[in-house]
Each structure stands twice: as C-alpha cells, then as structure tokens.
Structure 1
C-alpha cells in the first residue's frame, strides 16, 4: 500500500474547528475519507502506486477534476481522480446513496467519541461494501485524529459565553455484540456577539447528576466561565449539577420542553383556543404582559377538567421558564 496524499485545505479546516462549526468539521472528515477512497480505487485500477515502475501498470494518472456530491449534510466538493485513457471510473457516486445516513452518523459519532480504527473501518466498508486493508485504515485514522481532537479540545476561554443550552439525546450503539442505549450530552452557547456555538459533546451510559457534573467539569477545564444563564429541561440531576458547577448562574427551564410537556396533556381535538392562548403567553414582550396572559389562560380553563393537568404544569414551572425576560429583548429570541 502506498503512502496516501491528502488534499485538504488546512486553513479552512482550522477556521472551522476554531469556530466550532461541527457541520464543517464532519464535512471535512467525510471529504477526506471519500477522496482517499477514490485514490485507492485508482491505485487498484492502475496496478501501480504513484511514481512506481511496474510491468503490470494499466495506465497513467492524469490529475483530478472537481465534482459535487449532494448528501444529507449538503453539497461536498470532491477531487475525483482520472487516468489518461479515461477508462477509470470511481464507484463513490453510485454507492454513496445507500450509506449516506450511516456515513454521516458515523462521522458524528467519531467527533463525539474520538477516532478509532474500528470506526473508520466501518465507515469505509459502508462506502465500498468490501473489506479494506489495515494500512489504509491506519493512514486515514492518523489524518482524522487531529480534525476531531482539535475541535473537541479547543480552549473555551478565548471569549465569554453568557447563555448556555444543555440537553441530552439517546442513541443506540452496538457494543460488545449488543445494542445498548447511551446518552449524548450536548452543550451549545450564544456568545456576546449573538453567535451560536457548540461547546462540547460527551457520551455516557446514564443521565444523572454525576455524569452531568463530569461533563460540566470537562467544559470548565477547557476554560468555560460561569454563564449568566443556563437553559435545560427539568431533569433534577441536571438542575443540581448546574447549581453546583456554575455558582451565581441563573437557571431557566427550556421553553420548548416546557410547552411540549403542557401540550402532551391536552386533548388533540377542540383545544385550538388553549393552544393559541398558550402561544400568546410566550410571545409577550414585557414581564407584565406575560404574567397577565398566563393568568387569563389559567382563568379561562380553570373549570375544565380536561386541562387540569396542563394548568398544573404551567403554574408550577412558569417562573423558571420565563427567566429570559430578565435579559435584553434583543437576545430573547435566541
């Protein structure tokens, strides 16, 4: 196996990593994998590596041409190898469609967990449908490692993040020949320039106080300062971890989760008036109006047993959910 040459725009990659543009990081990694796989295909077609003298050579290299590949994460510009006689044709553009989702999810998992030889093998085998050499996987892994690690370990003390959102999602992972559920912790922030940025991700077996605390400690070890406001759902372990790790920080119950909790308890039919009034509550501009609209909603449906649970949730979590009203109006929509 020959040494693989990577055609990667390092300035663009560095900018993407430093700006925590996770989509760009994943896209760069996918472009790297696809370009190197196509180069390997050309080597196999020619029966000769670059600059290699061989009696078995079928043809000669003739540079590359650019071609776009549309995937679920957008358009990728690939460098497609070509040969002098034009007989070589890559299989990438025929095969990518059936593994598009698996490829993107694998790359995202790599960003979260770090690059492993097993994961790269899985990605490329999804792409080409056949076994690949260990040397090829090893070479890819060495080049992907910095892309993932530089993003995941970048310092967070270069700017202040006044507003931080934290949430967990659950994914199915094959581990030791079993499929298990794992929690992916995600922290997103809004900078003082109102720019949204992903701070970090982490995977754990459970969602509890200890695991959330460890995640926050990792972010703080990279320089994250206590924000003005942390927004999350009402998970008790998460709330406790926020209070413990970010002294002096206000907590807001996530507006989206809160409204979903309320809507889930009301009838699907004949509830349009309730939904409209609830929407009006959280579209209010002043603190006086938001409390007024909430009281009007409570009064309007207080005698209707169908909305008893919804009103209970609204009343209990209302003050925690409107903490954003204590901040400038221009930032509230974020």
Structure 2
C-alpha cells in the first residue's frame, strides 16, 4: 500500500481534510521531481565523486509558492553554480496551475462580473483576487479574438444568417451599440459564427464590410443570405456575392404588420400571412398572398402594400423543402443573440470595445464547438440537392 493510500485512509478514518493529504503529497512529489531534474542536468547524484571538478555544481535553492486547487505548494527550486539550469516542471514565472485561471475565464464566459468573480474565488479558494487581477486574466482571451477574426472559413455556405443586436458599451459615456453577427451553415449542415463587428448603429454599409471580410477569408459561394428588411441590404450583399440569393425574414415582416393594425385584428391578419410562408409550395404561397391582399388591403392598405413590395419574401421556396422551416426567418440567429444578451445583463458594463470583443468571442467559440459538427435539421436530407445547387452556381458566368 502506498504512502498516499495510507494517509488517505487515516485522514478518512479521522474525518480530516483529504485535500490537505493531496496537497502535501503533491508538494513532496514536485519537490522531488525538481531535484531529479537538476541531477539529470548535472549528470551526477549529490555528493558523488563525479561532480568534483565537473565545471558545475549544486548551489542551493530558492523558494516559490505555487497555487493549486488543493492549496498552496511551497516549492524549492534548485539552482546550479553556473546559472544554466532551467527547470521544466513548472512554467517560468507561473504562480498557479491552469485550473483556477480556466475557472475564472469560464465564469467570465457566463456573464459573471469581475467583482462577483473576485468575491467567489475568495470564498471558494480563500485566495484574494482583485477585480483588476480577474480582468487581467480575462485578457488571455485577446489572442482568441484575433485568431477568430483571421481564421480560414469554408469555401461554401448554404446560408448565412445576418442579425445585429444592441449591447451597452462605454466610449466616454455608456450607450447601446450594434453588434453585427453572421452565422453560417456549411455544406455538411454544421453551424458556426463566422464573424462579427461592432458599430454605433446598424447600416448596410457596415454589413457589406463584414461580408467582404468573409470573402477575403475564403468564402467563395453562398447560396442564400437571410436578414431583416434593412434598406440597401440586398444591393450590399450582391456587390460581394452577386450570385447569392436573399431572403427577408418573414417573422420580421409579420411583426411589421402587427405594428400597423389594430389589436383586435392582429391575430386574424397574422394567421392569414402565416399561411403564405407555411405553404407547401411557391404556388400555394402565391395563392395565399393573393388572398391576404384581397382580404385586408381595403382595411389596412399601408400594411398590405408594404408586404406586396417585398420581392425577397418567397426566396426560400427555391430551396429543398426539408430546410425551408429554417431559412424563411432569422430566428436561428436571433435566439442565439438573446442568449448573449441574457449573459450581458449580468455585466455592469463593458469598459471598452476590447472587453466586449473578448466576451463575445468566448460565446462564439462555445457555440462553434457545440454546433460546428452537428448537422442542422433538414440539411442532411437536402445535401445532394444543395451540392447540385453549388455546382450550378459555379457554372454560371
């Protein structure tokens, strides 16, 4: 039976803290390993004759505290006379293992404020971490931000959802700004956040810049873009991807209708409009649209005219039936944005754009990890037809 096992059994029998047993044995093991490292470096054991006139020798040690989930370890880092020995057991200048840092970053990802994290760490680990220390640790994500913006993307995306959400950020004063987000579904049905940008307001010009960056990062063809009805959006998309199609979110159109009619009529008119985008075929949708116009134009001419002017309303009928429920609306990306805003509400504020970007990238990386390898509903069934659509797109002059 090992010393560790014996000590654990004794600690359990005496109802002592077993983490202290682990801490003590870990401390001993690392100190022994450090000694063995120096022995291997010098190539002779302590007090061996081989060390005489070897040109280098042991020169005591210096103390170093190393924090772990089991508590602080008091380590003795050995030195050599020539100062050439560099131990490899512990990373240089590192004062703790990754567990606590990763825990802090994980809390940060979930929207916990730096003040709350500092308080929680002190209560759980008995270690004081200032708000600034926690903030500095979260800056480790900065490298992920740059890598996220620069990573190579797939050549083909069946569809790309575009939506902007409002998040408060400080620029001298605190105001809500637009976070532009693009989520793509690739040929294999996997979803990923492709890119994002931040600007004070939403505009087609900023969207065009974001889409241009996707092209520069390897995206050659997109079959469909899905967005709300922002003015100038279709032209902006076609300047970068002239062969791509554009679907205006039917749910956004439905909301616009609701805002232009009386409360007592909302349920009825919205049900009639729903019959348009839930039809089995384009022809059935056109028939439902005609009925919608005939029934409601006299009562609400402005609301109906706005719908009839939408030339991107039924684009999704050009695609396989199995994916239509996913592509007539931006609900997929809006649901994700709501999750982000739920975490944001816990934050006091983002002191600058860099802090907001770091937070967003933690969310996006988590999303991509979860959904990048999962085939979105209906896309597996539609894959043969979608591949043919890409082939046709490439053949177009």
Question: TM range, normalised to the smaller chain?
Answer: 0.5 to 0.7
Does 2:145 match 1:187? no
Residue correspondences, number:
232
Contact kept? 1:278, 1:294, Cα under 8 Å: yes
Q: Does the C-alpha gap of structure 1 residues 211 and 267 become closer, same or farther in structure 2, counting only changes over 3 Å? A: same
Deviation at 1:234, TM superposition (A): 1.8
- Structure 2: distance between partners of 1:239 and 1:179: 32
Give matches, 1:85-234, under 5 Å: 104-105=110-111, 123-129=113-119, 132=130, 138=136, 140-142=138-140, 144-157=141-154, 159-176=155-172, 178-234=173-229
1:333 to 325, 330, 342: 325
Corresponding residue number in structure 2 for 1:289: 284
TM-score calculated relative to the size of structure 2: 0.51
How far apart, CA to CA, are the structure 1 residues paired with 2:218 and 2:74? 48
Once the two structures are superposed, residues 244-291 of structure 1 have per-residue CA deviations (whole angstroms, 9 ceiling, x without a partner) of 111222222122211211122122224433222211111101111000
Equivalent of residue 256 in structure 2, options 261, 264, 280: 261
Going from structure 1 to structure 2, the CA distance change for 1:140 and 1:301 (only over 3 Å counts) comes to: closer
| 1:279 matches 2:271 | no
- Structure 1 residue 160, shift from structure 2 partner: 1.4
Question: After TM superposition, what 4+ stretches of structure 1 lie above 4 angstroms from structure 2?
Answer: 39-43, 133-140
CA contact (8 A) 1:185 1:202 kept: yes
**What is the Cα deviation at residue 237 of structure 1?**
3.7
Secondary structure at the counterpart of residue 243 of structure 2: coil
- Return closer, same or farther for 1:128/1:331 CA change in 2, 3 Å cut-off: same
In structure 1, what is the equivalent of residue 350 of structure 2?
none
In angstroms, what is the RMSD of aligned CA positions? 3.5
TM-score with structure 1 length normalisation?
A: 0.60
Cα deviation for residue 332 of structure 1 reads 1.0
Distance 1:40 1:148, change over 3 A: farther
Q: Find the residue that maps to 1:50 and give its secondary structure.
A: strand
